[in-house]
Structure 1
Amino acid sequence: MKGRPIYLDYASATPVHPKALQALNKTIHMFANPGGLHAEAVAAKRVLDDARERIAAHLGCKAREIIFTSGLTEANNIALIGLARSLELQKRSLKDTHWIVSSIEHSSVLECFSEIERMGGTISHVEPDAKGIVRAERVAELLKPTTVAVSVGWGNNEIGTVQPLSAIALVLRAHEKKYNTSVILHSDAGQAPLYRSPQVHSLGVDLFSLGSGKLYGPRGIGALYVSNKVSLAPIIFGGGQERGLRSGTEDVALAAGFAAAFDVITIEREAEAKRLQKLRDDFASEIVAHIPSVVINSDLKHTLPHMLNVSIPGERTGEYLALQLDHAGISLSTKSACDEGNKASHVVAALGGPEWRAINTLRFSLGRNTSASELKKTINTLQLLIAKK
């Protein structure tokens, strides 16, 4: 395929927005440690504080409730393993604790729960319905008097379903009142903040993980919202930066770039969501019209507007088709990039259906530079690949 490559893998990583890059370049020379006392350090601290305050404003929380991390994976680990370690430090045996996690989470969440289970905690996995939605009533069925935490991602990273966090939070609050206990709600925000307002109090979350590299900011930085309700213990030790939860000198330039990206996506959110939803819905209609027996792996009415996950029947696996599309100049994934080594998608497998459905998946994720002409070329190329004998 001639011309520039067609990039349809925004769910894996987004390009850095020009304004985020501008903010990064403007502050990259600020090498002073923001923990110092001299003028250069104070200037660096001012930029760091400004970035924290801007991100907090977008989340509708206090700046002190935001800690910077190296990305989503670290934010998830600090939230979940940090909560488990805090309970241990309070002399509470994890053998007496119960934890709930959605079965369709990213590996950076699921592996944390595997570690908590090794530490002694009891884990229950809440399954989605056939459209990939984790219903609040299913969470309610699993709650116990010993439940200490529930983790459900806001926008699924493979099929894009938006989870009803506020409804789940209401169930947890009722449970707390009934049993005079505390249940923490954690969520990996994923890319939902691109197209949904991330007001933490409206969502009802207590811990909220964010990654700059998913939100048109620079990679290497993320953030974790920690409500005053939550007590965490550090899992990284050192100088005690970030409220003692994430030791290590903060990267001022990355924080500035992250904040600038968040500013932009907030301004563009409504218009971009509408634009991409029309592109995605038209694209989905064309796929259904031209590819026999294709399965759409979500209810698009409850899916982030830039994502479309499909399963294509036949002997050609999703991985084969993705590689052939890449050869034709079209970049996309079959599932989460972190899970590309696995044969089948655990997310699509959780939806039910025949075995091939979870193996023959393609994840199309659109973004700021996606055009209708690019999607038309993608459909034509995919048709030719499937028609090959």
Structure 2
Amino acid sequence: MRTLITNIGELTTNDGPAGGRGADVLHDAAVLIDDGLIAWVGSADGAAALGASADEVVDAGGRAVIPGFVDSHSHLVFGGDRAAEFEARMAGQKYAAGGIRSTVAATRAATDDELRARLRGFLDEMLAQGTTTVEIKSGYGLDLETEERLVRLAAEVTPEVTFLGAHVVPAEYADRADEYVDLVTGPMLDACAPHSRWIDVFCETGAFTVAQSRRVLEAGIARGLAPRVHASQLGPGEGVQLAVELGAASIDHGTYLTDADVAALAASDTVLTLLPGVEFSTRQPYPDARRLIDAGITVALACDTNPGSSFTSSMPFCIAVAVRDMGMTPAEAVWAATAGGARALRRDDVGVIAPGYRADLVLLTAPTRIHLAYRPGVPLVARVWKDGVPVS
């Protein structure tokens, strides 16, 4: 199947210098899709001769096209709801990691079919808003059986599955955190590794210490899983240094970073994934993305869809918040939500519109990508292609 999309007013390719600083845009452009991949990118005038060989020609009507969003941090497999917790937080109650345990009971009680149906619903939400690649973590089971179920269900819909058995210490292991780490790094890892690509840990006060986090990550690495780290969400800590030392693909949250953390990230290949929905929902201070980008850190944006601290699946919303409250330009935010997410997943086939990449594209009902931040809350996604196939 060959599809030509032409008369694109503004095409964001990300096929240029990293960071979305302007050299990644074509005007009056066209894209040829062939068998699920980008086959050609160029001017609309230059595409005229290709129309005859295409099975379908789509007129973009002068609107903007961007790569499909790459959401590199989500928790989509869970049961229950925490709306009451959100209401309490809006009334002044402080957010704490312990709220995760309230989701664990509901998730353990849910059937596979119930979890699967809810997961599909979230994925449909994401596709409708332009997300074509998504990472999914476990972490709401916290026992061997349920954690295995969560990664197995996630693996049905994405190759980007993260085993996060070390999310928090479950109630039945209260005051026995090291014994729980024994379970996570032993039988639980044995059950979950076959369904997972990544290993993750919440290295934070109220979750796991640096020593415990190291044990979890090194055990996962020994089983062939690549490391990611939740760190510096609730306060400064040593998680960033650990992530860089172990070559983690990303450190996620990074709300509280020291100068040493910034220097370490800037000198590494570890991506810093910022999660604007979390600060929006918890009323914590927003990270200073301007400081981080100017320091030379590769920044990604993700939704962190979860029932406790960020119950949004909208990457356009996260882009708008990042521009309004975190010091990013619209171009930088769109890059971070596409190519940046791909780098956080160490993917070289998505997040860019160039020959050989997967044909994951989003047609906006707007003339520029700026409108994603300029018109917050407005549904601007007109059409989505995943692997060259229209899905929304």
| TM-score, reference length from structure 1 | 0.31
Higher share in strand = 2
| Greater length-normalized contact order (CA 8 Å, ≥ 6 residues apart) | 1
Higher share in helix = 1
| TM-score, reference length from structure 2 | 0.31
